[in-house]
């Protein structure tokens, strides 16, 4: 990352942190703010947050790496989160996941080379009775039990 980009990240983090000054437990909301603005929380942002909140880089990195919603690289244009929780897995989730990854031409946990789609695991969407489930650009897709559902997701991602 160039020095100019690091300075821009530091300025953004300083502005966002100032808006949360005095707020108890500001770390998570600040990280969400950064993710919303930059589409990621990378190393430069981690360092800037640590400095702003008087935390160690390890503490901030630990939070970023613990929560799956934070990412170090921007997601693709479309974001597909596929449930890997027990209920969805018991309904054939692993087979459907493989078919979905093949149809979208992206491996689980990756962003396709053209930046069109990111496929990520999620561990329960709270729709266990009607799984397997996914979130496609934040919208739930339930009963992914055949090619029709996979094709609906692929059509959304192709748009």
Here the CATH number for the domain that contains residue 96 is: 3.40.30.10
For residue 73, is it within any domain?
A: no
For residue 71, is it within any domain?
A: no
**Domain ends where: 15, 44, 66?**
66
CA dist., res. 10 & res. 43, Å (int): 11
> Domain range holding 13?
1-66
In total, how many domains does the chain have?
Answer: 2
Q: Is 83 among the annotated ligand-binding positions? A: yes
**Domain ends where: 9, 44, 66?**
66
Percent of all residues in the chain with a pLDDT value above 70, rounded to a whole number: 99
In the numeric block, which tokens belong to residue 9?
């990240």
CA dist., res. 76 & res. 81, Å (int): 12
For residue 72, is it within any domain?
A: no
Residue 1 scores a pLDDT above 70: no
pLDDT for the residue numbered 94: 93
Same domain, 44 and 107: no
Average pLDDT over the chain reads: 93
Q: Is 128 among the annotated ligand-binding positions? A: yes
Q: Is 147 among the annotated ligand-binding positions? A: no
Q: Is 53 among the annotated ligand-binding positions? A: no
For residue 45, is it within any domain?
A: yes
Mean pLDDT of all residues in 46-75: 94
Same domain, 95 and 138: yes
Same domain, 53 and 89: no
Same domain, 62 and 83: no
Tens digits of residue pLDDT in 89-141: 999 999 999 999 999 999 999 999 999 999 999 999 999 999 999 999 999 99
Same domain, 113 and 147: yes
Same domain, 35 and 104: no
Same domain, 40 and 98: no
For residue 143, is it within any domain?
A: yes
Asked if 110 and 119 touch (Cβ cutoff 8 Å), the reply is: yes
Calculate the alpha carbon distances from 22 to 14, 27, 29, 52 in Å.
14, 11, 13, 12
**Domain ends where: 43, 66, 89?**
66
């Amino acid at each position: 990352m160039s020095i100019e980009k690091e300075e821009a990240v530091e300025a953004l983090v300083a502005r966002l942190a100032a808006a949360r000054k005095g707020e108890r437990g500001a770390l998570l909301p600040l990280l969400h703010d950064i993710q919303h603005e930059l589409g990621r929380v990378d190393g430069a942002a981690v360092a800037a947050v640590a400095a702003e909140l008087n935390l160690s880089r390890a503490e901030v990195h630990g939070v970023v790496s613990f929560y799956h919603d934070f990412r170090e690289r921007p997601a693709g244009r479309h974001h597909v989160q596929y449930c890997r929780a027990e209920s969805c897995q018991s309904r054939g989730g692993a087979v459907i996941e493989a078919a979905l990854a093949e149809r979208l031409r992206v491996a689980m946990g990756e962003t396709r080379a053209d930046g069109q789609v990111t496929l990520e695991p999620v561990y329960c969407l709270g729709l266990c009775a009607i799984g397997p489930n996914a979130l496609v650009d934040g919208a739930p897709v339930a009963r992914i039990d055949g090619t029709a559902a996979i094709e609906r997701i692929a059509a959304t991602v192709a748009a």
